[in-house]
Structure 1
Amino acid sequence: MKKSYSIEEINSYLNGELIGTTTHLIEGPEQLQAAKSHHISFIGSIKYAKYWAASKACAAIVNDNLTMEPIDNKAIIKVKNADLAMAKVLELFNPPAPEFTIDIHPTAVIHDTAIIGKGCKIGANCYVGKDVELGDNVILYPNVCVFDETVIGENTVVWSGTVIRERCIIGSHCIFHTNVSIGADGFGYRPSEDGRGLVKIPQIGNVIIGHYVEIGANSCVDRAKFSSTIIGDGCKIDNLVQIAHNSVMGRFCIMAGHSGLAGSVTLGDGVIIGGSASIKDHTTIHSGATVGAGSGVVGDVEAGKTVLGYPAQDARDMLKQWVAMRQFMKKQ
């Protein structure tokens, strides 16, 4: 059923300041330039305010530090943070997840020793191995594999194609998107004694993932050589991210797409890793630090510091170098 709301209902939900009004019912959010008369949009920065007058959107959610005026039949809702308010609006219009016609599909293979919690849903062609434990309300969409002795906490959702290898420990309320790999072998080789080949180093550890962790499609978290690869509570990991063996992430870290941690990297709490950034093995990035997109970190990073470039260094110093280089090139 299609959802629609009046501007007054949206404002009541956001607890914002409504300026002006519109007779249009709102059927969903959209970008300012692509919006139609039944859409609501948002403006979180002054650089987007110039698009408001020409936009066909009937309403906009606006940061309260911006000076914006309503237009005929176009309303404004002022809020403290337009991004967070839009997130709430998106929840209103979020379509339901795919439905299960049966809780446990007859084609799923579940070992006799597995413990399945109340309210679990297991889709077609899933595999649940020996001594696996699924907490209450875990959802495994079709074609998920969970191997022996793995434990998954309650209300965790695992999307199709994901493989969780043996002995992993997964927290509650996690989301793993399509084709995530958790607990595959870490990458460990050494030259053979005769110098003619490579010796594979056994990887006998596991992966431990905290609560409320989200991992994007096609990302990999490798198991430890010994002990555990650890991802702390609340971490958010984008698509196509590599986390190597024995790495440890603190709480509420963010890793953007195509970034990667080499073996035995340690992240403190609240670390942000930009897209395509790479972190050298045995490096520590302390709490609150930020690594800019495309950077290469080859040494430890202090708490709260922002680094940029390759090799990564203090962002302000790197930007000064780039400006100086540009000026030098213009003179040539």
Structure 2
Amino acid sequence: MKTYNIEEINDILKGELIGNTSRKITGPEQLQNAQSAHISFIGSSKYIPLWHSSKACSAVISANIKLEPDPNRALIKVKNADLAMAKILELFTPPTPEFNIDIHPTAVIHNTAIIGNNCKIGANCYVGKDVELGTGVILYPNVCVFDETTIGDHTVIWSGTVIRERTEIGSHCIFHTNVSIGADGFGYRPSDNGQGLTKIPQIGKVIIGHQVEIGANSCVDRAKFSATIIGDGCKIDNLVQIAHNSTMGRSCIMAGHSGLAGSVTLGDGVVIGGSASIKDHTTIHSGATVGAGSGVMNNVSAGQTVLGYPAQDARDMLKQWVTIRRLAKNTK
């Protein structure tokens, strides 16, 4: 078990140590669940009452929080408690599953595939024709990588993920369990005879940049032509849909259950809230934010925040909500 004293943790965080504790710290925990060997976090003043009832021996607090330590309980004041929490969580992160052998004998690897140095390929994986894996790529058990796909250095792909043919993936990416990359885009038109639907072939591919993380059960569909593109540094939550020919700029965030319809364009640093949906052929410019549950029907300007269904400028939508509440009260 890893343990640290409060001074060692403060050396890592480079914060201001207030008070002290003699207890060894064995891990982080929420204030209400913490025991005497835990360190916790206070990023907002609304959590201050929980500190007084908590058993935690220490807490990391944001610089704007006014709080005094108790006997044998210490505080570390930092600029941003959430970022400090990330550093502490790294300290106590348990090891990932180990491979007893670098390439499991049940893995099926085509003889034309190029496997980089220090790759690890788990049981029942499939690596297809002309696939190229860079240095240090990890495929956990039951991953399928189909023909002509390239995967950059030190990318980690968890079990159940399927990467279809001709996909291009950068370095230092993480794909969590059951991700689907490169499935056919959703394209149909009424048949000439009016008695069914004609499938539109999807002959493009998916291009994913460096340091992209994609959550469990999310889907990135191949393009009808050209490519569906995920830019460097994008972070995609669980259960997210990215449709054919969509393009995401650098460092975009998409929260769970959100989705892009076909040919959506996101600029750099766009944030899409949970369960938000974006209409096809829509552009959301750099730095914009789409609130949770919103439905975007029109283009969104750079830096704008939109809310609602259909989505509007957040200030206008909030005014409408206030007006509706007032009307509701007056009709009682």
With normalisation by structure 2, the TM-score equals 0.99
CA distance in 2, matches of 1:284, 1:13: 41
Q: Where does 1:1-332 land on structure 2 (aligned, <5 Å)? A: 2-332=1-331
List, as ranges, runs of 4+ consecutive aligned residues in structure 1 with deviation greater than 3 Å: none
Alpha-carbon distance, 1:65 to partner: 1.6
What are structure 1's unaligned runs of at least 5 residues?
none
* Residue identity opposite 1:190 in structure 2: R
Alpha-carbon distance, 1:13 to partner: 1.1
How large is the Cα RMSD of the aligned pairs? 0.4
Alpha-carbon distance, 1:67 to partner: 1.1
Show CA shifts across 1:246-293 (max 9, x none).
000000000000000000000000000000000000000000000000
Alpha-carbon distance, 1:54 to partner: 1.0
What are structure 2's unaligned runs of at least 5 residues?
none
CA distance in 1, matches of 2:64, 2:46: 13
Alpha-carbon distance, 1:217 to partner: 0.1
Show CA shifts across 1:56-106 (max 9, x none).
000000111211101011000011111000100000000000000000000
CA distance in 1, matches of 2:41, 2:326: 38
Between the two proteins, the alignment pairs up a number of residues equal to 331
Q: What is the SS of the residue equivalent to 2:206? A: strand
CA distance in 2, matches of 1:103, 1:271: 38
CA distance in 2, matches of 1:324, 1:30: 42
CA distance in 2, matches of 1:80, 1:301: 32
CA distance in 2, matches of 1:223, 1:61: 44
Alpha-carbon distance, 1:50 to partner: 1.8
Show CA shifts across 1:37-65 (max 9, x none).
00000111111112111110000001112
CA distance in 1, matches of 2:274, 2:20: 40
CA distance in 1, matches of 2:211, 2:164: 20
* Residue identity opposite 1:26 in structure 2: I
CA distance in 2, matches of 1:65, 1:329: 38
CA distance in 2, matches of 1:253, 1:48: 29
Q: What is the SS of the residue equivalent to 2:40? A: strand
Q: What is the SS of the residue equivalent to 2:225? A: coil
Alpha-carbon distance, 1:145 to partner: 0.0
* Residue identity opposite 2:19 in structure 1: G
Q: What is the SS of the residue equivalent to 1:60? A: strand
CA distance in 1, matches of 2:207, 2:35: 46
* Residue identity opposite 2:123 in structure 1: A
Show CA shifts across 1:302-328 (max 9, x none).
000000000000011111111110111
Q: Which deviates more from structure 2 when the two are superposed, residues 60-69 or residues 101-110?
A: 60-69
* Residue identity opposite 1:138 in structure 2: V
| Percent of aligned pairs sharing the same letter | 79
Q: What is the SS of the residue equivalent to 1:50? A: helix
With normalisation by structure 1, the TM-score equals 0.99
* Residue identity opposite 2:130 in structure 1: D
* Residue identity opposite 1:72 in structure 2: P
CA distance in 1, matches of 2:44, 2:287: 24
* Residue identity opposite 1:305 in structure 2: Q
* Residue identity opposite 1:162 in structure 2: T
Show CA shifts across 1:194-213 (max 9, x none).
11000000000000000000
Q: What is the SS of the residue equivalent to 1:52? A: helix
